[in-house]
């Protein structure tokens, strides 16, 4: 693996930096307050600006609305977005739905759905988890039954991120209840405004409304909304997990958080001395920085494998596991070092505008979403190390 970037890649990095500084300069969020609606609108406009440059779907083929970038350019873009605290939310349509449709969908489905995702027009959610099917996702019970030219869907999904804001859902449902659980699942496109769909909010302990419960009661969708081969949906879902885990495993945000923590410790005086002068603080920050370097190498390894035409499997689980647990270690350290300033969400003493407090609460979910840490370790053990199941 080459750790050096080419002159062309460095030029692209500078182009991304310049764009971010122009369109979303430092402190862009200050004027929006904590109003979720205003923040969401700003982020949607940001996505459209990226789409206008074909950067929203950077590594996609140009004929489907992408930029045709290399995997390394995608990695550089992700790094600069995190380092410069650019507006961001998990765009599932870009990250793993559209790549799955590109692999398994029909020509008509690619033209109908993928291009609109690349243009920033449609937001997607992922309809996987259920109250009785989380880590054991293949136990899902939501049913899709064919009735003439329509599929009729009944069941319940949970922890569906952005379901309340999405135009379409990427649904995994059981289509053959008599088959072994991994072999009777299919994947569908579901317009989220379809009659019979009810979305109920699940507010997390960071006081954020990202997650939802979604109920399906005799929801009818066209027969052609089936994506890929009938009853082979589990394999579509498994491939989608690989896309998801690599997309959420970028450590650039944690790097910026540790940089900010170090700067706050240099400025914060306790008994006439900066916090950064304390040996235990210096050692903790140095330890976190070392872990960020490890996570960065893991992310580079994934991009290197993709550049070589290989599909990251255990490697995707490695970066997801390490980066998500690193987020928790960074936020735990910040709250512990900064005391009250790291714990409060607002006011003059809130460190980093309350970001560390939010990160501390929100990062609890990092080791659950996209596959629990326990599942990641099992994948690494069996597929990466060849250990018995």
What the block records as the tokens of 367 is 């080791």
Co-location of 173 and 77 in the same domain: no
Co-location of 224 and 261 in the same domain: no
Q: How confident is the model at residue 265 (pLDDT cuts 50, 70, 90)?
A: very high
Query: Quick one: DSSP state of residue 86?
Result: -
Q: What whole-number distance in Å separates Cα of residue 179 and Cα of residue 55?
A: 42
CA neighbours closer than 13 Å in the CB half-sphere of residue 136: 6
| pLDDT of the residue at 246 | 63
| pLDDT of the residue at 89 | 73
What the block records as the tokens of 221 is 């969708």
Co-location of 80 and 136 in the same domain: no
Which among 43, 130, 210, 244 is annotated as catalytic? Answer: 244
| pLDDT of the residue at 127 | 97
Least confident range from 81-90, 173-182, 320-329, 354-363: namely: 81-90
Mean pLDDT computed over 174-179: 96
CATH classification at residue 130:
2.40.110.10
For 190-210, how does the pLDDT look when each residue is reduced to its tens digit (9 = 90+)?
999 999 999 999 998 888 899
Within-domain flag for 389: no
Within-domain flag for 357: yes
| pLDDT of the residue at 304 | 87
Co-location of 279 and 311 in the same domain: yes
Co-location of 265 and 220 in the same domain: no
Angle at which helix 252-267 crosses helix 71-83, to 10 degrees, equals 30
CATH classification at residue 37:
1.10.540.10
Count of structural domains within the chain: 3
Within-domain flag for 111: no
Long-range contacts of 31-38 (CB under 8 A, 24+ apart): 34/346, 36/208, 36/209
CATH classification at residue 256:
1.20.140.10
Co-location of 195 and 270 in the same domain: no
pLDDT > 70 in the chain, percent: 97
Q: What whole-number distance in Å separates Cα of residue 90 and Cα of residue 23?
A: 19
* Cα–Cα nearest to 321, from 369, 359, 376: 376
Within-domain flag for 212: yes
Catalytic status, residue 213: no
Co-location of 79 and 160 in the same domain: no
For 303-320, how does the pLDDT look when each residue is reduced to its tens digit (9 = 90+)?
888 888 887 889 989 999
Within-domain flag for 349: yes
| pLDDT of the residue at 90 | 75
Within-domain flag for 105: no
Co-location of 252 and 376 in the same domain: yes
Mean pLDDT computed over 176-194: 95
For 112-149, how does the pLDDT look when each residue is reduced to its tens digit (9 = 90+)?
999 999 999 999 999 999 999 988 899 999 999 999 99
Question: Which of 65, 89, 113 is where one domain is finished?
Answer: 89
Co-location of 133 and 196 in the same domain: yes
Give the domain extent around 365.
248-384
Co-location of 351 and 378 in the same domain: yes
Within-domain flag for 258: yes
Question: Which of 89, 106, 132 is where one domain is finished?
Answer: 89
**Whole-structure pTM value:** 0.86
Residue, of 35 and 287, whose pLDDT is higher: 287
Residue positions counted in the chain: 389
For 350-360, how does the pLDDT look when each residue is reduced to its tens digit (9 = 90+)?
888 889 999 99
Contact assessment for residue 323 and residue 296, using Cβ atoms and an 8 Å cutoff: no
Co-location of 163 and 253 in the same domain: no
What the block records as the tokens of 204 is 């997390």
Co-location of 59 and 177 in the same domain: no
Question: Which of 173, 201, 231 is where one domain is finished?
Answer: 231
Within-domain flag for 107: no
């Amino acid at each position: 693996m080459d750790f050096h970037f080419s002159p062309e890649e460095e030029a692209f990095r500078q182009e991304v930096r310049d764009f971010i500084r122009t369109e979303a300069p430092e402190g862009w969020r200050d004027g929006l307050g904590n109003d979720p609606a205003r923040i969401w609108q700003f982020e949607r406009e940001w996505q459209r600006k990226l789409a206008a440059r074909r950067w929203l779907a950077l590594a996609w083929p140009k004929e489907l609305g992408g930029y045709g970038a290399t995997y390394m350019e995608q990695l550089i873009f992700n790094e600069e977005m995190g380092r410069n605290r650019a507006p961001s939310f998990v765009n599932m349509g870009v990250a793993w739905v559209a790549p799955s449709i590109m692999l398994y969908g029909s020509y008509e489905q690619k033209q109908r759905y993928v291009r609109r995702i690349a243009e920033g027009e449609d937001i997607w959610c992922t309809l996987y988890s259920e109250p009785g099917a989380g880590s054991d996702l293949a136990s899902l019970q939501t049913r899709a039954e064919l009735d003439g030219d329509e599929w009729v869907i009944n069941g319940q999904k949970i922890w569906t991120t952005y379901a309340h804001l999405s135009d379409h859902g990427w649904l995994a449902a059981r289509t053959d209840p008599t088959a072994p659980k991994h072999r009777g699942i299919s994947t569908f496109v579901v317009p989220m405004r379809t009659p019979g769909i009810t979305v109920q909010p699940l507010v997390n302990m960071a006081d954020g409304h990202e997650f939802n419960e979604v109920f399906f009661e005799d929801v009818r969708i066209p027969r052609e909304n089936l994506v890929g081969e009938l009853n082979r949906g589990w394999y579509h879902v498994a491939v989608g997990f690989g896309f998801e885990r690599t997309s959420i495993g970028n450590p650039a945000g944690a790097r910026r958080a540790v940089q900010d923590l170090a700067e706050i410790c240099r400025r914060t005086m306790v008994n006439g001395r900066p916090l950064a002068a304390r040996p235990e603080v210096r050692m903790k920050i140095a330890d976190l920085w070392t872990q960020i370097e490890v996570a960065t190498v893991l992310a580079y390894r994934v991009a290197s494998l993709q550049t070589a035409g290989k599909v990251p499997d255990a490697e995707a689980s490695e970066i997801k596991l390490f980066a998500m647990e690193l987020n928790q270690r960074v936020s735990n350290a910040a709250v512990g070092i900064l005391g009250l300033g790291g714990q409060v969400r607002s006011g003059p003493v809130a460190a980093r505008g309350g970001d560390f407090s939010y990160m501390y609460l929100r990062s609890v979910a990092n080791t659950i979403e996209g596959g629990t840490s326990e599942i990641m370790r099992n994948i690494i053990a069996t597929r990466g190390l060849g250990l018995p199941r």
